[in-house]
Each structure stands twice: as structure tokens, then as C-alpha cells.
């Protein structure tokens, strides 16, 4: 669950709320095996939130920290999956602005 933890008078709040709303709308339009699914969203004035699919495999960053490196074949598979997801965003006219290992989430099977 992503929750916006900024006070109502915080000057960063309007931009952060807009970003959360945009993410919720975008994820609501997507149904792709390599993009996390959104299940619920509420832009409640006190505590806006976005409920996302739970992936229990950690992130690519976590995998690299545990193993030291990812072998070439699994790395290629992960890269292919990530680029397919990014291409689906691109097809809708969006660009992910924060692609990094910590934002590439994995399921238990390592997908």
C-alpha cells in the first residue's frame, strides 16, 4: 500500500498527490504481466493511498545484494521483462522516470 504521508500544509503535497493520482489512473488502464497491478485508490484528503499487487520476491536491488551479481541468462530474462513493461507504458504515452533496481519488483519465482 502506497500512502501519501505529507501534511496538508506541506508545499510538496499537491505535486505528490497529483503523481499518486496519475499512477493510479495509469495502472488502472494497464493489464500487463510485467507491470504491477493496482487494486484500489482513494484520494482521501487526510491520507490518500494506492493499493498495489503484493510481490513477495523483493526487488532486483535485493537480489543483487543477496547474490552479489545476477548471472547472464537470468539477467537477460529480467531485462527483457522490464523492457516489455516499460514498452507497455510507452505505448500509452508514459515514461517511467525512476527506473532502478529498487523499483524492479520480483515475485517468488524471480519474474
Residues carrying an active site annotation: 98
Cα Rg of the chain (Å, integer)? 16
Q: Which residues contact 95 (CB under 8 A, 6 or more apart)?
A: 89
Angstrom distances, CA of residue 17 to CA of 52, 56, 70, 75, 91: 16, 26, 36, 34, 24
Amino acid at each position: 500500500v502506497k500512502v501519501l504521508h505529507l501534511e496538508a500544509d506541506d508545499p510538496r503535497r499537491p505535486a505528490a498527490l497529483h503523481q499518486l493520482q496519475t499512477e493510479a489512473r495509469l495502472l488502472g488502464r494497464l493489464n500487463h504481466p510485467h507491470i504491477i497491478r493496482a487494486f484500489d485508490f482513494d484520494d482521501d484528503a487526510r491520507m490518500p493511498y494506492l493499493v498495489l499487487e503484493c510481490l513477495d520476491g523483493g526487488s532486483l536491488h535485493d537480489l543483487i545484494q543477496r547474490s552479489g551479481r545476477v548471472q547472464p541468462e537470468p539477467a537477460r530474462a529480467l531485462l527483457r521483462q522490464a523492457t516489455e513493461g516499460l514498452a507497455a507504458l510507452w505505448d500509452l504515452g508514459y515514461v517511467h522516470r525512476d527506473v532502478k533496481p529498487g523499483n524492479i519488483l520480483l515475485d517468488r519465482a524471480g519474474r
